[in-house]
Amino acid sequence: MNYQNVDAAQFAELKNKENHVVLDVRSPGELAEGSVPGHKMINFFDSQFKANIAKLDQSKTYLVYCRSGNRSAQACTIMADLGFTSIYNLKGGIGAWNQLAAVS
């Protein structure tokens, strides 16, 4: 595995560091469930997903999330295969993020 799974607290910590991109790989319809502030959205189910990912700057750190953590894990694997080296997957997805935000 060429990425790290992190919990919501670790994800929030990483988000405070320089040179990162928060990547939401859900579909636009899922935005109603909430989102991580400052995210960039690239829909995992879009036929151009891999091409859109390939255009991203590989020198940045990517914090990737979806609804539950499954799609984002798949996205992280694709990113690693494309040569990205600093990738973090949010375990539990937006649900875990929303729980953290509720107690913060």
Arithmetic mean of pLDDT, 6-23 = 96
Residues 54-79 have pLDDT tens digits of 999 999 999 999 999 999 999 999 99
Helices (H) and strands (E) in the chain — how many of each? Answer: 4, 5
Nearest Cα to Cα of residue 43 among 12, 71, 82, 85: 71
Domain 4-103 falls under CATH 3.40.250.10: yes
Six-digit token string for 56: 């991203």
Hey, where are the domains in the chain? 4-103
Banded pLDDT at 1 (limits 50, 70, 90): confident
- Cα gap 46→33, rounded to integer Å: 19
pLDDT attached to residue 16: 93
* pLDDT band, very low/low/confident/very high, at 103 (cuts 50, 70, 90): confident
The answer to whether residues 71 and 25 touch, using CB atoms and an 8 Å cutoff, is yes
- What pTM was estimated for this model as a whole? 0.96
